[in-house]
Chain A
Amino acid sequence: MAVLLDENTRLLVQGIGTEGTNHMRRSIAYGTKVVAAIHPRRGGEEQDGVPIFTTVDEAVRKTGANASVIFVPAPFAADAILEAAAAGLPLIVCITEGIPVLDMVKVKAALRGSSTVLIGPNCPGVITPRARARAGIMPVDVFMPGRVGVVSRSGTLVYEVVAQLTKLGIGQSTCIGVGGDPVIGTRQAEAVRMLNEDPETDAIVLVGEIGGSAEQEAAAYIREHVKKPVVAFIAGATAPEGRRMGHAGAIISGDDARAENKKAALRAAGAYVADSPAEIGLTMKRALEERGLL
């Protein structure tokens, strides 16, 4: 089955400017079924052999698309997400960076109670290597089919972790970049839940960073529900305090925002915590060996 993306994924692409087109090509070359592209003024044309529609609604009705990846520029991205959700798509992956936070507040309010899963925004997307299904911008060469799931706030750290795993011969089931913005569609704890319930996933890498309290939420979930080995890394342990967050922002999460407290929460939940970003792969290797999974 894998999570979010598999061989049954029929992807549509919203926003086919330079980046959207570029990454649509890369997904097609990787083997992903891209069935439609959306452009408000180019309906009826084709791009790289993919039919273009003016609306997501029409694309879904005519092609049976069941997932969307969004590259629409930030000022129009919230509208694009809501259009995809209104068309009934079960999965929306929004790559766009720089969406105003109140736009995302509105989007989240609108999605409350709907069955649509939103990943992102400001994320690298989702990839399931076994199914060669890619909705996003990841460099495909570093990925290898396997049984370790990856969840990360940061995009480039997904690549870093995956490159380390692949080099050690450890393949990946599904990798999910949840996104770096304060308001995102799917938070880390929810992504961990998906991988925990996935029969194709044996172990999970969780990459967090300083700020907010999402890692503590994930730790609470792991403690209660996850028997699979979890390897965690928190970026920003050495960042000077107070540079990233405003004053009132800091008091919401208080001490939760700090790397040491995130690490402690994850350790207490039974996770293997890597202190160096260069050792995430090795830590997973040891964890898998310890559990007899490698």
Chain B
Amino acid sequence: MELTLNINGRDHRLSLDPRTTLLDALRDHLGLTGSKKGCDQGQCGACTVHVDGRRILACLTLAAAVQGRPVATVEGLAHGDKLHPMQAAFVEHDAFQCGYCTPGQLMSAVACVHEGHAHDRAAIREHMSGNLCRCGAYPKIVDAIEDAAPKMERG
């Protein structure tokens, strides 16, 4: 089917099998490989992106179902060379190891702050629990979010 996806502010016209998930559309059809496939069944969070400003799992979302709705991926977080405060905090705090879950963690972390769930460590931990990190970077992810949240609010 023919469809248009709006990714990071840009429209992309695509011809896709209706079965194509948003994740596969991003990775295999648009070359946006930042969003990762860790389970392809909604269990790991590595494919987390924003649709309509809310974090969702791209692996359980059909591309066809997000036509006309803005999609934001990790590739759209930084402004040119300037990292988003959350990205900078992840680097500073070493909030990752292998880095594979990181794009999903970042998209979740930004949403976690926007949702108002970053007010204390317990809330962050709970609201970041949909993103598995097999390397075990969790405490540093919480550190990074605590650090970045006020910086995000300052804009």
* A, B from the same assembly: no
